[in-house]
């Protein structure tokens, strides 16, 4: 199996609709040992999902806004495992006033919160797991390609661009230790997080018209989960610092297909 014997730390599992849940489910099916993280009131949701994934699956405490939680996470991992082979970073949040067309009015306090949770936490999580990644491994973060500006995404888009840069710098610094770091940029998916983004439905409706392979926000979770498991496996040993797209090819196409009006078509050659 693709992940037989791998020890994976997976963040971001809340409900079975979470993208991280699908990745954990596939990882377990492919032979991995898995630990989850959760915190606060939402931890009960993570624990319920953990029981559904596999009886006895453990949930470690991790609030990425609490600096003390990272060394505690390192200790908790060391108590359970002799090593960590892979890490899934599936953590992002922006306050309501940082989204939905409010870019020019968003206060620094909201931007700071979004940046810390959505981008800086990748570095902190990587450093916390580093002492146990003694045999190399793979770190994967979930992304939404922000090399261009998007409607409605605002400061979360800026944070995702920072996340992508963080991936490259971590790849630089962790590569000599045999650790690969990559971002997985998915198209729009129907998740709890997506429901908090104003205008998400409109973005979702237009995606499939431009993606040459098509796209379903409800049915593409499995495609993303399988790609994440491939990145966490040993099958991509020289791939690092990359943004891997699972978006139906949307990113490669400049605009949706168009049909020229009749008066725009070139004249037919004589004789035809």
- Is 63 marked within a binding site? yes
| Helix axis angle, 19-29 to 43-53, nearest 10° | 30
- Is 7 marked within a binding site? no
Residues designated as active site: 153, 160
User: How far is it, in rounded angstroms, from Cα 62 to Cα 68?
Assistant: 9
Residue positions counted in the chain = 272
- Is 197 marked within a binding site? no
Tokens of residue 106, six digits: 């968003």
- What contacts 130, CB < 8 A, 6 or more positions away? 174, 177, 179
- Is 6 marked within a binding site? no
Task: Give residue 60's region: left, alpha or beta (phi > 0; psi -120 to 50).
Answer: beta
Sign of CA dihedral 83, 93, 19, 184: negative
Q: Distance between alpha carbon 32 and the CA centroid of its chain, in Å?
A: 19
- Is 86 marked within a binding site? no
- Is 94 marked within a binding site? yes
User: How far is it, in rounded angstroms, from Cα 196 to Cα 41?
Assistant: 18
Cross-strand bridge partners of residue 186: 246
* Binding-site residues from annotation for NAD(+): 12, 63-64, 91, 160
* Binding-site residues from annotation for substrate: 94
């Amino acid at each position: 199996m693709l992940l037989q014997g791998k020890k994976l730390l997976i963040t971001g599992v809340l409900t079975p609709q979470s993208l991280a849940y699908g990745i954990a489910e596939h990882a377990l099916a492919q032979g991995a040992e898995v630990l989850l993280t959760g915190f606060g009131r939402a931890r009960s949701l993570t624990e319920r999902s953990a029981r559904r994934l596999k009886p006895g699956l453990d949930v470690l405490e991790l609030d990425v806004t609490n600096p003390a939680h990272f060394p505690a996470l390192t200790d908790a991992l060391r108590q359970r495992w002799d090593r960590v082979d892979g890490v899934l970073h599936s953590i992002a949040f922006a306050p309501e006033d940082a989204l939905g067309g409010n870019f020019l009015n968003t206060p620094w306090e909201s931007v700071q919160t979004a940046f810390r949770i959505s981008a800086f936490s990748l570095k902190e999580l990587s450093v916390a797991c580093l002492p146990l990644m003694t045999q190399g491994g793979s770190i994967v973060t979930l992304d939404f390609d922000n090399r261009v500006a998007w409607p409605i995404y605002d400061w979360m888009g800026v944070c995702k661009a920072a996340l992508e840069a963080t991936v490259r710098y971590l790849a630089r610094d962790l590569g000599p230790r045999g650790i690969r770091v990559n971002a997985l940029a998915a198209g729009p998916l129907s998740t709890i997080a997506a429901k908090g983004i104003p205008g998400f439905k409109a973005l979702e409706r237009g995606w499939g018209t431009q993606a040459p392979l098509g796209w379903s926000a409800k049915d593409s979770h499995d495609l993303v989960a399988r790609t994440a498991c491939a990145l966490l496996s040993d099958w991509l040993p020289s791939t690092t610092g990359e943004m891997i797209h699972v978006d139906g090819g949307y990113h490669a196409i400049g605009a949706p297909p168009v049909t020229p009006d009749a008066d725009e078509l070139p004249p037919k050659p004589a004789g035809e």
